[in-house]
Amino acid sequence: MSLFIYVFYRTDKTLINQIIIQFVSSENYEKLKTTIRLSLPLNKHVIYSLPEGLWVFSITLTSKEFYLTLLNRRIHCVYIPLVYAVGLEFSQLFQVTKGRFDFFDIGISFVCWLIAARKIHTNQIPQNIFTMPNYNGAVCMLSYCIVYLAHVT
pLDDT of residue 31: 97
Q: What mean pLDDT do residues 11-38 have?
A: 94
Q: What mean pLDDT do residues 69-86 have?
A: 92
pLDDT tens digits for range 108-127: 999 999 999 988 777 778 88
Helices (H), 64-148: 80-93, 103-114, 135-146
Nearest to 58 by CA among 7, 112, 130: 112
Q: Considering the entire predicted model, what is its pTM? A: 0.84
pLDDT tens digits for range 83-95: 999 998 999 899 9
CA torsion sign for 139, 8, 93, 107 is negative
Say yes or no to pLDDT of 128 above 80.
yes
pLDDT of residue 132: 67
